[in-house]
Amino acid sequence: MVDHVHMLIAILPKYAVSQVIGYIKGKSAIHIARVFGERKRNFVGTVF
């Protein structure tokens, strides 16, 4: 499909995979909300 992305990242053993993925997902959700949701803050309760 054209609407998804594959990523290959190297994570140091001292970091949990779930923590790194959660961080990436959080940052991308905020970016998407700012670009397409026309919101600058207050993302509480917002669901994609």
Domain ranges of the chain: 1-48
pLDDT at residue 31, rounded to an integer: 83
pLDDT at residue 44, rounded to an integer: 63
Threshold 0.75, pTM exceeds: no
The answer to whether 37 and 48 have CB atoms below 8 angstroms apart is: no
Would you give the DSSP letter of residue 37?
S
pLDDT at residue 33, rounded to an integer: 77
Residue with tokens 């970091």: 15
pLDDT at residue 41, rounded to an integer: 62
How far apart, in whole angstroms, are the C-alpha atoms of residue 16 and residue 5?
A: 22
Q: If the chain, 48 residues long, is cut into consecutive pieces of 10 residues, what is the mean pLDDT of each piece?
A: 84 94 88 73 60
**First-to-final CA distance of the chain:** 19
Residue with tokens 């991308």: 28
